[in-house]
Structure 1
Amino acid sequence: MKNIKLRTIILLSGILSIPGLNANNVKQSNNNVMETLNLTQEWDKTFPKSDKIDHCKVTFINRYGITLAADMYKPQNTTGKLSAIAVCGPFGAVKEQSSGLYAQEMAERGFLTIAFDPSFTGESGGTPRYMTSPDINTEDFSAAIDFLVTHPDVDPEKVGVIGICGWGGLAINAAASDTRIKATVASTMYDMSRVEANGYFDASDSAEARNETRRRLSEQRTKDYLNGTPLLGGGVPDTLPENAPQFLRDYYDYYKTDRGYHSRSLNSNGGRNATSPIPWINTPLMSRAGEIENAVMIIHGEKAHSLYFGSDAYKNMTVTPGKDNNKILMIIPGASHTDLYDRKEIIPFSAMETFFNEHLK
């Protein structure tokens, strides 16, 4: 033992201090190195390209060092700094689907927009692939804001977000932590933490049910470790069972047909990593939604199975004093959950345009 030379490590106030080492001589690699991404240059969206916008691919890095890929849409023949919107969703989709359609439509209405793929998904970086995280995915929205507020064509005081489906809940979560987000639209939103923890319509909201899920997912983690490859949980099934609920039939009609299928979409193909629900069960996304001071608009279809997510989120929000109508719940008559993915005649783009123009000023 006496031949072993020990280095002195001192623990002071919860900080590990090594003699000769301090913050001034430690260099961190933050936002310096981008992954090399394989970005498709051809137009491979599920919707036609508008002749009213300019389109290009862009990349940016989140604070976990993951490089994200996005499509940027800019209205043609504009001058000066523009209001900007970052768009993502649905959960398990890619930017070539619903989020791209929203982004292009809002660009036609005068906003500079980006539709981005989240970490581990689509053309974005990050491994393992097809993973989800309430923290990292919320950060993805803030990373998109980093990109927009520093873009030379954007007014940094006029930036908002649109989240679709599960990304609606994440958009609200991002707005609760990032005050640079001046206006938020959550369209046909899911609260992913609630559905993973409680099941649909809170039918499995018990410690017993959650513990059974935890046991199953924990066993799968062991299998994944031994196999070296995470099991995928499966997207929308290729063949619907005869007793499939209507909302699953609606998902099939979007993700498995020419209407919305995309080769990089998780829901169109093998789905997310099967153990992805683990962190969502213990992470309530809506816990600080009532503290959002900036504007929030929640849009839902009257016949959407997910309507209860948006309705309950809205109930927990507070109109900011002196800012009348900065919290809005809009119910679209007769619309289902997936109608708000791509039915341009149903999605209230004009109302969204008015909302953003009012609150990004």
Structure 2
Amino acid sequence: MRTDVTFTSNGLKIAGHLYLPEGLGADGAGAAPAPAVVVGHPGTGVKEQAAGLYARRLAEAGFVALAFDAAYQGESQGEPRGLEDPGQRVEDLKSAVSFLSTHAAVDPGRIGALGICASGGYSLVAAASDHRIRAVATVSAVDIARQFKVGPDGTQDPAVFQGMLDAAAAARTAEASGAGDQTFTLFPNTAEEANLGGPHSFEGWEYYCTPRGAHDRSAKALTWSSVDRIATFDGLATVALIAPRPLLLIAGRQAVTSWMSVQAFQSAGGPKELHWIDGASHVDLYDKDEYVTPAVAKLAEFYGTHLGTAA
């Protein structure tokens, strides 16, 4: 069962979809409190895409699951639209935990987090400092700062990001002069242009810009003011603080971003596990059933072991 919910994060109304296991009423009344998982979406996603798919599948496996739109994006409040603020994204995850902690269907002592793509990095930071998160997992984890600074494969010339910081500084001055919100586009216009950026660029374009995964509310542009906020974030810096709570990192064998999951694993204490999905790329794990199904099975096993299952 899916219900529309809202909660507050730093004074902003956050829109979410709450997925309940079969047999639980909308308010959870009459049932033993169940374990729950907060699911964070990729950097340009919305709750109706990968996060919603994983939340629904986790509910089918017996967990209460909450997918939500980040502040400034999707159906959630916040201006300017398209702002990617890592600090706010971490706060959104913690606020989602607060929402679940007070829900009648949820056992507040059995709440976990799942971060997909950029929310992988955000969930690691949230879990490091919020002990209410009893188990944390990631799928195709990305530290958004590393991706911007050195690219998805880690080989980007650092001068590229320095140029982006120049543009971000100029955009702030323009906004102060009354020019309005300054933004930059995230995706090429055509498949041919996307192909020029390589397979990772193409599969991102294909997911977000074609019927495969496109959604009207997913971000196609970010504000330039996102860039200098991203510059000082580090999604992996505090991974060691998660221990002794358990950590699971799921990555595709073919994902160019998998080095970030490896780094997170190496930095973590324990218990920890790096689980590979053979044949999968980064975006394959967003929606392709042949890869999502084994990923969900591993997640259900992980959360079942560390959070228990619904009565």
If the length of structure 2 is used for normalisation, what is the TM-score?
0.91
Match of 1:308 in 2: 259
Match of 2:87 in 1: 135
What CA distance in whole angstroms lies between the structure 1 residues aligned with 2:198 and 2:107?
45
- 8 Å CA contact 1:94–1:117 kept in 2: the answer is yes
1:229 aligns with 2:151: no
What CA distance in whole angstroms lies between the structure 2 residues aligned with 1:344 and 1:126?
33
Could you tell me which amino acid in structure 2 is paired with residue 163 of structure 1? G
Q: Equivalent residue of 1:345, what SS?
A: helix
Match of 2:299 in 1: 352
Match of 1:248 in 2: 201
Cα shift at 1:274: 2.6
1:289 aligns with 2:258: no
- 8 Å CA contact 2:165–2:227 kept in 1: the answer is no
1:76 aligns with 2:22: yes
1:166 aligns with 2:118: yes
Higher helix share: 2
Using a 3 Å threshold, how does the CA distance of structure 1 residues 83 and 136 change in structure 2: closer, same or farther?
A: same
Using a 3 Å threshold, how does the CA distance of structure 1 residues 232 and 209 change in structure 2: closer, same or farther?
A: closer
Q: Equivalent residue of 2:100, what SS?
A: helix
Match of 2:28 in 1: none
- 8 Å CA contact 1:176–1:292 kept in 2: the answer is yes
Cα shift at 1:203: 3.2
What CA distance in whole angstroms lies between the structure 1 residues aligned with 2:130 and 2:203?
33
Alignment equivalent of 2:63, drawn from 101, 111, 114: 111
Cα shift at 1:244: 2.8
Cα shift at 1:300: 0.5
Cα shift at 1:204: 4.6
- 8 Å CA contact 2:167–2:224 kept in 1: the answer is no
Match of 2:27 in 1: none
Aligned residue runs from structure 1 range 10-49, under 5 A: none
What CA distance in whole angstroms lies between the structure 2 residues aligned with 1:100 and 1:213?
32
Cα shift at 1:152: 1.1
Cα shift at 1:153: 1.1
What CA distance in whole angstroms lies between the structure 1 residues aligned with 2:42 and 2:162?
28
Match of 1:61 in 2: 8
1:275 aligns with 2:225: yes
Q: Equivalent residue of 1:258, what SS?
A: coil
CA offsets 1:253-293 (integer angstroms, 9 cap, x no match): 21111110100011xxx321133111121222211101212
- 8 Å CA contact 1:289–1:316 kept in 2: the answer is yes
Provide the alpha-carbon RMSD of the alignment.
1.6
Cα shift at 1:205: 6.4
Could you tell me which amino acid in structure 2 is paired with residue 289 of structure 1? V
Using a 3 Å threshold, how does the CA distance of structure 1 residues 209 and 99 change in structure 2: closer, same or farther?
A: closer
Larger deviation, residues 251-260 vs 98-107: 251-260
What CA distance in whole angstroms lies between the structure 2 residues aligned with 1:57 and 1:204?
40
- 8 Å CA contact 1:197–1:280 kept in 2: the answer is no
Q: Equivalent residue of 2:221, what SS?
A: coil
Q: Which has the larger radius of gyration?
A: 1
Cα shift at 1:180: 0.4
Cα shift at 1:134: 1.5
CA offsets 1:176-211 (integer angstroms, 9 cap, x no match): 1111001111100111111223334343565x6654
Larger deviation, residues 195-204 vs 350-359: 195-204
Using a 3 Å threshold, how does the CA distance of structure 1 residues 196 and 243 change in structure 2: closer, same or farther?
A: closer
Q: Equivalent residue of 1:233, what SS?
A: strand
Structure 2 gap ranges (5+): 25-30
Match of 1:337 in 2: 282
What CA distance in whole angstroms lies between the structure 1 residues aligned with 2:117 and 2:246?
19
Size of the aligned set, in residue pairs, is 297
Q: Report % sequence identity.
A: 31
What CA distance in whole angstroms lies between the structure 1 residues aligned with 2:274 and 2:170?
41
Cα shift at 1:118: 0.4
CA offsets 1:25-73 (integer angstroms, 9 cap, x no match): xxxxxxxxxxxxxxxxxxxxxxxxxxxxx111000001x2111000011
CA offsets 1:95-143 (integer angstroms, 9 cap, x no match): 0111001000100111111100001000001111110112111000000
What CA distance in whole angstroms lies between the structure 1 residues aligned with 2:178 and 2:117?
32
Alignment equivalent of 2:46, drawn from 70, 75, 94: 94
Alignment equivalent of 1:327, drawn from 255, 258, 272: 272
Using a 3 Å threshold, how does the CA distance of structure 1 residues 115 and 199 change in structure 2: closer, same or farther?
A: same
- 8 Å CA contact 2:164–2:227 kept in 1: the answer is no
If the length of structure 1 is used for normalisation, what is the TM-score?
0.79
Larger deviation, residues 217-226 vs 124-133: 217-226
- 8 Å CA contact 2:42–2:117 kept in 1: the answer is yes
Q: Equivalent residue of 2:2, what SS?
A: strand
Larger deviation, residues 188-197 vs 151-160: 188-197
- 8 Å CA contact 1:197–1:282 kept in 2: the answer is no
Cα shift at 1:228: 4.1
